[in-house]
Amino acid sequence: MKQWLFAAAAAAASVLVLNAQVQRPDEWKSEGVIYLNHSLNARLHPVPIQAVHLGDGFWTARRKVTTERSLPTLLDLLEEHGVVDNFRRLSGRPDLPRKGRISSDSDLYKWIEAASWALASNETSDSDKQKLRGDIESLASHILAAQEPNGYLDTYFVGDKTHLRFTDLVHSHEGYCLGHLIQAGIAYYRATGSRKLLDAGIRFADYVVDNFGPTKRPFVTGHPELEMALVELYRTTGQTKYLEFARYLFSGVEKDRLKLKDPDIRYMFSGKPFTSHTEFEGHAVRALYAASGATDYFTETGEPAYKRTLDLLWTDLTMRKMYITGGVGSRSAGESFGDAYELPAEQAYAETCAAVANVMWNFRLLNLTGDARYTDVLERALYNGVNSGMSLSGTLYCYRNPLASSGEKLRNPWYDTTCCPPNIERLFESLPGYFYATSRDGVYVNLYHNSELDWRLEDGTPFKLAQATSYPWAGDVKLTVTVPHPAGFTLYIRWPSWASSAGIQVNGQPISADKRGSYVPISRTWNSGDTVTLDFQMQPTVLVANPRVSDEYGRVALQRGPLVYALEQIDQNGVALSDIFYRSGTPIAIEARKDLLGGITILKVSGQAAEKPVEEEPLYEPLSNALNRAKRPVNLIFVPFYAIGNREPTPMEVWVPISKFDAGTISAAAVNLERHTETR
């Protein structure tokens, strides 16, 4: 087993390797989505996907659709739009034209990564595994045949474009495609033990590392992604040159040699020292990928300046620039962050890829620190901002995920820029690897779902943890421990910040828990059959935004458990959403509807509707007229945000205006604002 140790000198920012041994042939069986077993700064170590068996439930249904519908139909579309032919034309079919955008290679690599995680999953049927592995092997043959002897591999920069290689790093996406090739190769290796694609990624990575750097040709990641991949390649191979090149990319030393302009640097979120950032700006996905890679780098090296920067950026995101859904990126121009508190609902861009990146980044921060606040953000983005990105059928996708719409069609089977579909698929297929982690002293339960963890403690003791729950529709969880002999360790149970209270019992005996939004440690000698039961109060919560979020001032949103809710006009008995108002203090009823949208829990509340359509009111009028506008009672039905747009195009909104601002309403809003702040 490889063993290496880092000494991070802040002044020199150097990394010293004391020992690096060749991996065991079966090491891949122990590697999770990110592999942290030898990362000295990581508190948690994710378990491999193969160690988790998911039972029936919320994510099992979503992942089944992903495996059986999404992956096959998307591969067909990649074939139809020439993405696979782009490789075939370099390996015996020169008559085929090059199709698609400059970075289309990455879409195929992401599909392969998603299919690889499906191969690793215990829930994928044998027949689906056989089909997926055959597809990957076929695709790999075309990819390997297209790779040049020196390792270079990009289907765009060939033929009459060969001379353009690495001449426009701001826009070429060559590093981005390389990063996704590496990640596809690592996923296939960790699922099957096959090094076929991994070695292709290594050859291309070696080409870049050997030819670029501070004393060679300059390099920059116009679309950060390669940084994450290089650190994970280092974790997989033990080769420090990949970690050192990641450090070079984060150093931002090439601005002058590459003649980078400040607008490009802000947009890319690269090109200047990562540690000089104090807030998020520019392209949301690029910025969050850069932060994810920097978290990986810090996890390996411990350079203090990186942690300070990461803390500043996380505070900026969660306190000023993140939607209630966990979506990120408010501006369509540049798919970018807006200013602080610039979070419009209907104009929200909130690209699916950005929500995926939000999950990826907070997953890394969680494993670095063991801090549940990162799991809270991960869960918010996963259940809402990511989950809305793929239809319940698995064949339609949202590129952007606004929090209000006038009824336009949000879901489509294909986009010319088709980064989001395979991105959401690779996250869903890798999801079992997010549920649990081990640490030196025990086991962490990050997410709740019917499942069984069949793994080992870090002292080698075999260990099983069975989880039974109705989450996210109810807050009941039962955990059952199985060990071969009495074993002393700590079981860390997450108390989500959205839950106002948590009832926790061990073998029927209550235990105290002090703080929501934290992991509750239960340290004892465990025997087979020991149980932990959890009861999280899952009452709907009425939330308001910070008053500086001007677009949502005077409006409220509903959340129950981890799920954010929305109104769709199709459910409101013909009442236009523009005429609907929320009545503060009104009881909220909960109703399970197995017949609706794949089986959901809806929220029902008494609201009001304007007697006269609001669009017929004057553009401006006295305040007294607006406050005393005639309204009639209506019954409002809220559905989970992730399920919007799955029936027919219809107006939708998350933030609903309050019917009247009186002293009681403002007071209640202030209380809920404080509650909302605590959850963030």
The CATH number of whichever domain residue 487 belongs to comes to 2.60.40.1180
Q: For residue 21, is it within any domain? A: no
Q: For residue 22, is it within any domain? A: no
Residue 664: pLDDT above 90? no
pLDDT at 23 (0 to 100): 56
Q: How far apart are CA 100 and CA 83, in angstroms?
A: 7
Pair 248, 397 in one domain: yes
Pair 323, 238 in one domain: yes
| Percent of residues, the chain, with pLDDT higher than 90 | 90
Pair 452, 518 in one domain: yes
Q: What is the pLDDT of residues 371-383, one digit of tens each?
A: 999 999 999 999 9
User: What H or E segment, with its residue span, contains residue 422?
Assistant: helix 420-430
- What are the start-end ranges of the H helices in 483-566? none
Residue 672: pLDDT above 80? no
Pair 237, 350 in one domain: yes
Residue 7: pLDDT above 50? no
pLDDT at 628 (0 to 100): 87
pTM (whole model) above 0.75: yes
pLDDT at 91 (0 to 100): 86
Pair 427, 522 in one domain: no
Q: What is the CATH number of the domain that holds 211?
A: 1.50.10.20
Calculate the CA dihedral of residues 318, 319, 320, 323 and round it to 10 degrees. 50
Pair 493, 447 in one domain: yes
Q: For residue 20, is it within any domain? A: no
Domain boundary (536, 564, 599) is at 536
Residue 14: pLDDT above 50? no
For the chain, what is the mean pLDDT? Answer: 93
Local structure of residue 24 (DSSP, 8 states) = P
Q: What is the pLDDT of residues 326-355, one digit of tens each?
A: 999 999 999 999 999 999 999 999 999 999
Pair 361, 450 in one domain: no
| Percent of residues, the chain, with pLDDT higher than 70 | 93
pLDDT at 666 (0 to 100): 41
Q: For residue 12, is it within any domain? A: no
Pair 406, 453 in one domain: no
334 class by beta-carbon count within 10 Å (0-12 exposed, 13-18 middle, 19+ buried): middle
Residue 482: pLDDT above 50? yes
Pair 567, 673 in one domain: yes
pLDDT at 669 (0 to 100): 43
Task: Report how far Cα 543 is from the mean position of its chain's Cα atoms.
Answer: 23
Domain boundary (507, 536, 565) is at 536
The parent domain of residue 82 ranges over: 27-434
Region label for 79, one of left (φ > 0), alpha (ψ between -120 and 50) or beta (otherwise): alpha
Residue 55: pLDDT above 70? yes
With CA atoms as reference, report the closest residue to 109 among 87, 131, 80, 81: 87
Q: How far apart are CA 226 and CA 109, in angstroms?
A: 13
Pair 372, 471 in one domain: no
Task: Report how far Cα 252 is from the mean position of its chain's Cα atoms.
Answer: 26
Token pair 């080769």: residue: 239
pLDDT at 26 (0 to 100): 81
Domain boundary (536, 564, 595) is at 536
The secondary structure of the chain in percent helix, strand, coil, rounded to multiples of 5, reads 40, 20, 40
Q: What is the 3-state secondary structure (H, E, C) of 159-187?
A: HHHHHHCCCCCCCCCHHHHHHHHHHHHHH
Q: For residue 376, is it within any domain? A: yes
Pair 430, 442 in one domain: no
Q: How far apart are CA 564 and CA 384, in angstroms?
A: 7
Q: How confident is the model at residue 626 (pLDDT cuts 50, 70, 90)?
A: confident
**What's the average model confidence in pLDDT over 445-464?**
97
Q: Residue 472: is the preceding peptide bond cis (ω within 30°)?
A: yes
Q: What is the pLDDT of residues 162-192, one digit of tens each?
A: 999 999 999 999 999 999 999 999 999 999 9
**What's the average model confidence in pLDDT over 410-433?**
97
Q: For residue 86, is it within any domain? A: yes
Total number of domains constituting the chain: 3
Q: For residue 17, is it within any domain? A: no
**What's the average model confidence in pLDDT over 385-389?**
98
Q: For residue 3, is it within any domain? A: no
The answer to whether residues 545 and 553 touch, using CB atoms and an 8 Å cutoff, is yes
Pair 523, 569 in one domain: no
**What's the average model confidence in pLDDT over 613-631?**
91
**What's the average model confidence in pLDDT over 663-678?**
41
